[in-house]
Chains A and B, each alone.
Chain A
Amino acid sequence: MSEPLFLFDLLLALAVVAIAAAALLVRDAFAMIVLFVVFGLLSALAWVRLAAPDVALAEAAIGTGLTGALLLKTLHHLRARGMAGWEPGAAAPRPVPRAVASLNAGLTLAVVAGLGVAILGSPLRVTGLEIAVAEAMPLSGVDNPVTAVLLNFRAYDTLMEVVVLLAAIIVVWQVERGADAAPAPSLGPIWQGFARLTLPAAAIVGVYLLWAGAEAPGGAFQGGAMLAAIGLMLLLTGLYRPHPDHRATARLLFVLGTVAFAAVALLVAGAGRASFEYPQGHAKTLILLIEGLVTISIAVTLTALFHGREPAALKGELRHDP
């Protein structure tokens, strides 16, 4: 490859490492979050360079975008709670002794250095599973190898990943039961208008990513994340306000993906087929069905994770158990 690209890689790698350290060390919490988002963007960029556009999409949308929004929301919440001067460090009453700090740093350095030496000292770059994947692709029902791995070869993993998301929303609702609402986010009229302009664009991109996932980078998770971005904007602009009556629907939407996926996995079994083994010729239909329903669940769950608290009913029900 040409020399500038080599320099580009080098600079990008150095920047990723430096920003990672800076995000942990910067004093201001808001700057920490902005740096974290920049770190995520640059990591996604690096992954594009490593020919992993699917992962870059997922990292940008979920790992960076939504995680950043969650961090920001939490910071907003903490600052709104009577601790106007809340800064990281204020919550840490006892400073770490210098000896302990350097011990920690030394230990970490030793671990990483040991790993690096061990890896460099061994033969690298064996063949992975790409040949097996390429051979099985015609049977998989889709044309994008990553989607084939996610929804066919390793569909069991993906089902469990959707379950992790379900577990997360159950835990979040459980933890924040009875918590008072944080002050609602406020947006002036101009920003409201801007948000309204952005909504359809995000919707189109989200559906496009889901649809494109069968042959190009994208798929249920990336598409779901883009749709969740719409949910975030609806919440932030106040266009949608969660109501206690919506809880039952929300629960149904949370579990929709898990149930559909697991049911298909079990129902296709029999007649000599194992679970998750789609009947010949029906793989594409079933995968699209699963992806569609899983996307809905992902979008709703991610939005609910951002909202946090279960929309509570009466004031009396708000008090948590003793």
Chain B
Amino acid sequence: MNTYLGLVALVLLASLLAGLVRVIRGPAPEARLMAGQLLGTTAVAILLVLWGLTGQSAFLDVAMVFAILAAVALIAFVALSNQGAGR
């Protein structure tokens, strides 16, 4: 069970890192932003898996904060990069 969950965490991390290519190469800000959002979601998933591994509920709190921050970050990115007007 532990090995299985560990493998899942590893795969999630690998997919998170693969998403970084879009962040670095862009070219459009939207692409970078969406990639960043996906990374945030993957990070939440990793935290949930780690919670499954250790059973410490603190990981859930961290995951919750990540999720809220992702939403706030989205709004901040949209508002401050002038992408959101008129949509």
| Interface residues in chain A, defined as those with a beta carbon under 8 Å from any beta carbon in chain B | 2-5, 7-8, 11-12, 15, 19, 22, 26, 28, 30-31, 34-35, 37-38, 41-42, 44-45, 48-49, 53-54, 56-57, 60-61, 64-65, 68-69, 72-73, 75-76, 185-188, 190-191, 194-195, 198, 201-202, 205, 209, 212, 216-218, 222, 226, 229, 232-233, 236-237
Contact = CB atoms under 8 A, between A and B. Distances in A.
A30 B36 CA distance: 11
On chain B, which size bracket covers the interface? 35 or more
Contact of A201 (B2, B36, B68, B80): B68
Given A2-B2, A8-B9, A26-B24, A212 B32 contact: no
A12 B13 contact: yes
Contacts of B33: 34
A73 B80 contact: yes
Interface string B11-41: 0011001001001101001001101100110
A76 B62 contact: no
A8 B2 CA distance: 13
A76 B77 CA distance: 10
A7 B10 CA distance: 7
Contact of A65 (B7, B72, B85): B72
A34 B59 CA distance: 23
The listed residue with most A CB atoms (<10 A of its CB), out of B23, B79, B82, is: B79
Nearest to B9: A8
B46 A72 contact: no
14 contacts: A3-B3, A8-B10, A26-B24, A30-B81, A34-B33, A37-B36, A44-B62, A57-B65, A60-B66, A69-B73, A72-B76, A191-B84, A198-B71, A237-B79
B17 A15 contact: yes
Contacts, number: 167
B61 A218 contact: yes
B65 A76 contact: no
Given A4-B9, A68-B76, 10 more contacts: A3-B3, A3-B6, A5-B9, A31-B26, A41-B66, A53-B58, A65-B69, A186-B84, A195-B75, A237-B79
A61 B69 CA distance: 7
A215 B46 CA distance: 24
B84 A38 contact: no
B59 A191 contact: no
Contacts of B64: 205
Contact of A30 (B32, B39, B40, B43): B32
B75 A191 contact: yes
B65 A38 contact: no
Contacts of A26: 24
B69 A60 contact: yes
Contacts of B50: 48-49
B79 A30 contact: no
Contacts of A54: 58
A286 to B, nearest CB: 25
A185 B46 CA distance: 33
A2 B3 contact: yes
A72 B87 CA distance: 21
Contacts of B74: 194
A12 to B, nearest CB: 6
B39 to A, nearest CB: 5
Contacts of B75: 187, 191, 194-195, 198, 233, 236-237
A38 B24 CA distance: 11
